[in-house]
Amino acid sequence: MVCAYDGTAYFGWQTQPGLPSVQETIERTLADIVKAPRVEIHGSGRTDHGVHARGQVFHCDLATRMSARSLLMALNAGGRLPPDIRVRACAEVGPGFHARFSAVRKEYRYYVWNTRLMPPCRRLYHAHVVRPLDLDAMRAAMARFVGEHDFAAFSANPNRPVASTVRTIHAFEVSRQGSRVAFRVQGNGFLYKMVRSMVGFLLRVGTGLERPEAVSELLAPGNPRTARVPSAPACGLFLWQVWYG
Amino acid sequence: MVCAYDGTAYFGWQTQPGLPSVQETIERTLADIVKAPRVEIHGSGRTDHGVHARGQVFHCDLATRMSARSLLMALNAGGRLPPDIRVRACAEVGPGFHARFSAVRKEYRYYVWNTRLMPPCRRLYHAHVVRPLDLDAMRAAMARFVGEHDFAAFSANPNRPVASTVRTIHAFEVSRQGSRVAFRVQGNGFLYKMVRSMVGFLLRVGTGLERPEAVSELLAPGNPRTARVPSAPACGLFLWQVWYG
């Protein structure tokens, strides 16, 4: 299934005891629909508190005779999923499919409102940057992210060790439309807080606080996360799309 | 002062006992800043529960030595106005100025998301229309609104009598960008629920439920409000701009 959500009201994707999460909300609604005591869904990855999604993918094992189409309609029907979560697509897949392990590419987008005042109706879906952003300087920095690198310096949470901190960025673009600055990044995978760390650093480059060349220094093998890499706010981030082989 | 707000959390512009309103929120913040026991502000007009504004105008009498610029900065500073209300401009005006009575023209915009599913991050600022909208049919209907007419049939709330239900619409446009349909209407003034009633009717025209010609029948002098004119939802409406002589 492919779902979209407004992350404002949730403590992230992953179920946490006593806190509203997207995963738990979908699991409960699915269990209701297929009349199962419990349903477990597996997302393509976690998103943090306040992060949004346009194309999060998850899979689950369901014992039901309902068609994928009926399931989709039941999920989005009134009184089922809340309006800040919509399921956009639903399809039957083979037993070899895993939303997380079968993913081969992901795209995130990050939105910034770059003006003196933040318009109230934009505040939940954009980070606010007052100082004018130099897009050319940011592009020079972004070019240095593209390719295979050790992104340890652009990750957070050492309590969650990963087998490897090497990832490949396929494309990284930025564009401006009026006061809105949009980042688009595709890669084969992303470490915890990696997109927000990269964008946080880019916003420093764009406002003249860092040189574009500093990216390469931080990507040098074995470079640990440093205080020089602040995370950009959660509300600007969207998990946009996940690709499978 | 010119202010913008996200109306989602407010029971409209106007102060109502026991309910959060934009007016009361601004009045309390202003009273705090100028250290007055109470400040009364006068808006260019009311907006309903859930309606937004990009350019609401209000005036007030303040006994303060603060400059307009300092006042503006104090209002938007952290911990003062909540982030869903921003004051965009502040200027001293003469005693003859009245935000409501001096207004000569107003613009409202109305946004519709015209697709099968409502994207969660658009839901607070767009009405949702599933059936494809015929923009040409709506334009034919909109042309009939332009000019001076008796809009009694496109107003609500007979408990709030007005001296005259005659208003002049200067311009009425609609455009589509992807799934987003945007209405823009300018007039010398608007009756209670007039914009939402006009848009509500236009959405029926756009989905084939009404003929464009029916607008002229409803605008015939002395025509009362009928059940044929449903209001479009509040969340799609923005008070965009107010002009003064």
Query: pLDDT of B61-88, one tens digit each?
Result: 999 999 999 999 999 998 899 999 999 9
Do B119 and A4 lie within an 8 Å CB cutoff? yes
Residue-averaged pLDDT of chain A: 94
Whether residue A222 is predicted with pLDDT greater than 70 in this model: the reply is: no
Res. A159: pLDDT tops 90: no
- Residues of A whose CB is below 8 A from B233: none
CATH classification of B2-89 is 3.40.390.10, yes or no? no
Q: What is the pLDDT of residues B178-235, one digit of tens each?
A: 999 999 999 999 999 999 999 999 999 999 999 999 999 999 876 666 656 889 999 9
At residue A94, φ and ψ (nearest 5 deg) are -75, 165
Give the A:B interface size as CB pairs under 8 Å: 54
Please choose, from the candidates B159, B220, B143, the residue with its C-alpha nearest in 3D space to the C-alpha of residue B192. B159
Residues of B in contact with A85 (CB under 8 A): 120
B184 touches chain A (CB under 8 A): no
* B228 close to A (CB below 8 A): no
- CA-based nearest residue in chain B for residue A89: B117
pLDDT of residue B224: 66
Residue A221 has pLDDT above 80, yes or no: no
Q: What is the CA radius of gyration of chain B?
A: 19
The pLDDT of residue B159: 61
Please give the model's pTM, rounded to 2 decimal places. Answer: 0.94
Task: Point out the residue among B6, B117, B124 whose CB comes nearest to the CB of A86.
Answer: B117
Q: Which of A48, A61, A84, A134 is catalytic?
A: A48
Cβ contact A121–B86 (<8 Å): no
- Residue B50 zone, left/alpha/beta (φ > 0; ψ -120 to 50; rest): left
Which H or E element spans position B16? none
B85 chain-A contacts, CB cut-off 8 A: 120
Which tokens hold the place of B225? Answer: 């409000």
Which residues, including other chains, have CB under 8 Å from residue A133's CB and lie 6 or more apart? Answer: A112, A114, A176, A181, A203, A206, A207
Through-space distance between the first and last CA atoms of chain A, rounded to whole angstroms = 16
Would you call B83 and A123 a contact, using CB atoms and an 8 Å cutoff? Answer: yes
Chain B neighbours among A 107-166 (CB < 8 Å)? Answer: 117-121, 123-125
Q: Output helix, strand, coil percentages for chain B, rounded to the nearest 5.
A: 25, 30, 45
Q: What is the pLDDT of residue A79?
A: 85
As a whole number, the mean pLDDT across chain B is 94
User: What's the pLDDT at A73?
Assistant: 97
Mutant choice from B26, B80, B121, B126 vs A, greatest count of A C-beta within 10 A? B121
Tell me which of 3.40.50.2000, 3.30.70.660, 3.40.50.720, 3.30.360.10 is the CATH number of domain A104-244: 3.30.70.660
SS3 state of residue A42: strand
A160 pLDDT exceeds 80? no
For residue B118, the chain A residues in CB contact (below 8 A) are: 83, 86
Asked whether the domain spanning A104-244 has the same topology as the one spanning A2-89, the reply is: yes
Q: How are beta strands B147-150 and B180-187 bridged, if at all? A: unpaired
Find, in chain A, the residue whose alpha carbon is nearest to that of B5.
A120
Chain A touched by B52 (CB under 8 Å): yes
- Inter-chain touch B120–A76, beta carbons under 8 Å: no
Chain A residues touching residue B22 (CB < 8 angstroms): none
Structure confidence at residue A59 (pLDDT): 98
Determine phi and psi for A150, rounding to 5 degrees: -90, 110
> Which ipTM did the prediction report?
0.92
Residue of B nearest to A77 (CA): B117
Selecting from B88, B119, B123 the residue whose C-beta is nearest the C-beta of A117 gives B88
Mean pLDDT of B11-30: 96
Give me the residue spans of the domains in chain B.
2-89, 104-244
Q: Is the pLDDT score of A55 beyond 90?
A: yes
Q: Which residue has the higher pLDDT, B163 or B176?
A: B176
Query: Residue A117 is nearest to which of B5, B6, B76, comparing CB atoms?
Result: B76
Residue of A118, A120, A238 with shortest CB distance to B5: A120
A83 → chain B, closest CA residue:
B120
**Closest chain B CA to residue A115:** B88
Hey, which residues 28-47 in chain A have their CB within 8 Å of chain B? none
pLDDT in tens, A73-129: 999 998 899 999 999 999 999 999 999 999 999 999 999 999 999 999 999 999 999
The whole-number pLDDT of residue A228 equals: 64
Calculate the CA dihedral of residues A137, A140, A145, A151 and round it to 10 degrees. -50
Does the pLDDT of residue A163 top 90, yes or no? no
Is pLDDT at B158 greater than 60 in this prediction? no
Q: Catalytic residue numbers of B?
A: 48
Q: What is the pLDDT of residue B156?
A: 79
What gap in Å lies between CA A207 and CA B227, rounded to an integer?
A: 56
- Distance, in Å, from the CA atom of A72 to the CA atom of A151, rounded to the nearest integer, reads 38
CA dihedral B23, B28, B32, B33 (to 10 degrees): -10
Q: pLDDT category, B155, cuts 50, 70, 90?
A: confident
